[in-house]
Amino acid sequence: MKLFANQLDANLERGLAPVYLIAGPELLLVEEACDAIRKRARRDTIDERVVLDADARFDWNQLGATGDTMSLFASRRLIELRLPSGKPGREGAGALRDWVKSGSDDVLLIKAHAWEFKSESLAWVKAIDKAGVYVPCWGIKPHQIGQWIRQRMASRGLNADDAACQFLAERLEGNLLAAAQEIERLALLHGKDSTLDLETLRAAVVDSARFDAFRLTELTLTGQAGAAVRCIRGLEESDTPQPMIVFALARELQLVEAFQSMSGHMPAAQAMDQLKIWRSRQQAVANAARRLHPATLRSALAALSDLDIQSKSSARPVFWLGLERLCVGLAENDFRQEVA
């Protein structure tokens, strides 16, 4: 059965299916759908959860072995299979079809972020669609974001008119995760059954799409050079504290560098666990680690050390020019530290 993310909760009220495939590039929708399934599993007293990371080195025999192993603590388990590439290969596709045919009492939850529309025609996906639930999580189209924000607000007890929703959509540039976080903040500020008009939102909303240091980090590491420059100029105009910007960039670059180093001699999932990277951030860190050359990261961290010194001195114009150069170089994967 194919369902969209906004239909899943109603379907779960009727009980759990034996297998779920939650797949698509929109991270927020994927994570919330998986959380809804986990919550339903707990309601059904399925407390034991087994997590399998199906990276390029995964042994697909583990999936069958996990299904064959009896639990010591419960009659049913939630087996979560993380499939980052969205492509199990021939062996994996066969293992997944075998699982569906086995009629296991356990619930299998497959999560895939990298996903293509043409994957829906593959035999293993069709088998899951027939036996369980397939939830595609595509990005929301720009003209639909305002309506998505309105519905999200309503689910949190907030009312907003079209102008207010469109204002929020434009400020957050289509970033659903940022929009969800902002709506949660608004709900805490204003409480349930509140009506928010455009002026109220203007007063309450921090422009996190353009003036937020952590947004700058995201734009830089995903290769959006032009948007990063616009964000930097917004940060400068809003007089954002320079040390905070340096901290946000340094923390993420150090995390990416550490992941690059550790994933060279251990499975990526193990490296993520040891670095204590949140699930919602893992895909972004892995993508940045693949995209950025280690030499680029080393040069960027050296430059950040210089920017940190400048941020604590009177060299404000030099700081902003250096920050622009750094972020554009990182976005284009071509940054080299100038030697004085």
Whether 234 contacts 207, CB under 8 Å: yes
CATH number at residue 185: 1.10.8.60
pLDDT of residue 311: 83
Cα angle 35-94-88, degrees, rounded to a multiple of 5: 55
Mean pLDDT by 10 residues, the chain (340 residues): 92 95 90 93 89 87 76 74 90 92 90 89 94 92 86 89 84 75 82 81 59 80 89 80 86 91 88 80 87 89 89 77 93 68
User: What pLDDT score does 17 carry?
Assistant: 95
Q: Which of 122, 117, 134, 130 is nearest to 88 (CA)?
A: 122
Number of domains in the chain: 3
162 shares its domain with 226: no
Q: Does residue 289 contact residue 308 with C-beta atoms inside 8 Å?
A: no
Strands 107-112 and 78-82: parallel
Question: Residues 13, 15, 21, CA angle at the centre, nearest 5°?
Answer: 100
The pLDDT score that the predictor gives to residue 340 is 41
What pLDDT is attached to residue 218? 86
Residue 336 falls inside a structural domain: no
Q: Which residues, in sequence order, are CB contacts of 264 under 8 Å at separation 6+? A: none
Assess whether 222 and 271 both reside in one domain. Answer: yes
Distance CA 214, CA 270 (A): 25
Q: In whole angstroms, give the CA distance from residue 40 to residue 45.
A: 9
pLDDT at 338: 53
Whether residues 186 and 225 share a domain: the answer is no
Question: What's residue 26's pLDDT?
Answer: 87
What pLDDT sits at residue 207? 45
pLDDT of amino acid 206:
52
Tell me which of 107, 136, 165 is where a domain ends: 136
pLDDT at 320: 92
Structure-block tokens of residue 134? 């397939």
pLDDT, residue 208, reads 47
pLDDT digits (tens, 9 = 90+) for 248-276: 899 899 999 999 999 888 898 888 888 88
Structure-block tokens of residue 219: 């734009």
Domain final position from 136, 154, 172 = 136
- Do 153 and 178 share a domain, yes or no? yes
Same domain for 49 and 83, yes or no, is yes
Domain range for 105:
5-136
Task: Report the pLDDT value the prediction gives residue 131, as an integer from 0 to 100.
Answer: 94
Nearest to 6 by CA among 17, 26, 213, 286: 26
